[in-house]
Amino acid sequence: MIKAAIRTIMAMMLVAASVGSSFAGAWTRPAHGLYDKLAYNFYYSHKNFDSEGGWTEMSDNGTFRDYNLSNYLEYGLTDNLTLINSLVFKLINKSDTNGSTTTGGVGDIEVAARYKLVEGKFGILSTQGLIKIPSGYSDTRSLPLGNGQVDLEGKLLYGRSLWPLFPGYYNVELGYRYRFGDPSDEFRYLVEVGFDFTKRIYGRVKLDGIMSVDNGEKYGSDGNPTTTNNFDIGKIELTAGYKITPKLGLELSYTPAVYGQNTAAGSTYALGLFYQTP
């Protein structure tokens, strides 16, 4: 009985560690708990999704690159309320047979709050509100860093441990993003599964999608192919992580776009270092 209880407690601790290493999903941080991840991300594309969802090469042998350094922060204000902030510094480049254009600076800033509604044997249910604010970059450049407008988003999140089947969890998110100005509003969805291979090594898989409401002005982008309007996109994130200590860890991610319409069809490669407190 004692050995069984110890094994159960250890497995539950592994599950909790997996959740903490994966941006928590529906879970909130404990009061005064901290999670901070600094990541270097590289995005590359030489193709677009057309209006029918097919793959097409960018015109004039074009390529698009986004080199960025991002910081994602979660802080538990109370056991039920977590504050979230995301910042990114970008250097983007578009090249084709006509030349090359590069733009750099701070991208959009996101501020959010996640609130735990209820938790029990069935899992955990939370809600999250987010505001995206442009940092002051010019959206009239030939290669803008973003759309340059404010977004508001509401989201419902559900998560559940997969123990005793195995040490892991799953998470599902559904949301709606209202976008001021011309860009179309968006439905947002995410399905995520995370698991531990060992006490230190873990992994997760995410399907992260955006579906346009198609209520914005119809236009493309002569510059940044990722800031088009009325677009759909679905990405698969594959992540492997290593916990150096209970508080410090590394993550390596590969995130290709697998389907979409009216936007760039590229992939992101990321290396992140995170720090977390209990």
DSSP string, 53-86: S-EEEPGGG-EEEEEEEEEEEEEESSSSEEEEEE
Provide the pLDDT for residue 147: 85
Provide the pLDDT for residue 222: 57
- Using CA atoms of 60, 256, 273, 136 in order, give the dihedral in degrees to the nearest 10: 50
Cα 275–chain centre separation: 18
Provide the pLDDT for residue 14: 38
- Give pLDDT tens digits for 78-102: 999 999 999 999 999 999 999 999 9
Strand partners, 47: 57
Provide the pLDDT for residue 245: 96
Provide the pLDDT for residue 182: 77
Q: Is 144 helix (H, G, I), strand (E, B) or coil?
A: coil
Q: Is 7 exposed, middle or buried (0-12, 13-18, 19+ CB in 10 A)?
A: exposed
Provide the pLDDT for residue 220: 52
Q: What are phi and psi of 68, to 5 degrees?
A: -145, 155
Provide the pLDDT for residue 219: 56
Provide the pLDDT for residue 205: 97
My answer on whether omega of the bond before 164 falls inside 30° of 0, hence cis, is: yes
Provide the pLDDT for residue 19: 39
CA neighbor of 169 nearest in space, from 10, 4, 26, 37: 26
Would you write out the chain's pLDDT as a tens digit for each of its 278 residues?
334 333 433 333 333 333 334 446 999 999 999 999 999 999 999 999 999 999 999 998 999 999 999 999 999 999 999 999 999 999 999 999 999 999 999 999 999 999 999 999 999 999 999 999 998 888 777 899 988 889 999 999 999 999 888 899 999 999 999 999 778 999 999 999 999 999 999 999 999 999 999 887 765 555 889 988 899 999 999 999 999 999 999 999 999 999 999 999 999 999 999 999 97
**pTM, 2 dp:** 0.88
Provide the pLDDT for residue 1: 35
Provide the pLDDT for residue 84: 98
Rounded distance between C-alpha atoms, residue 272 and residue 161, angstroms: 25
CA neighbor of 90 nearest in space, from 71, 70, 120: 70
Rounded distance between C-alpha atoms, residue 165 and residue 168, angstroms: 8
Provide the pLDDT for residue 166: 85
Q: Is 186 exposed, middle or buried (0-12, 13-18, 19+ CB in 10 A)?
A: buried
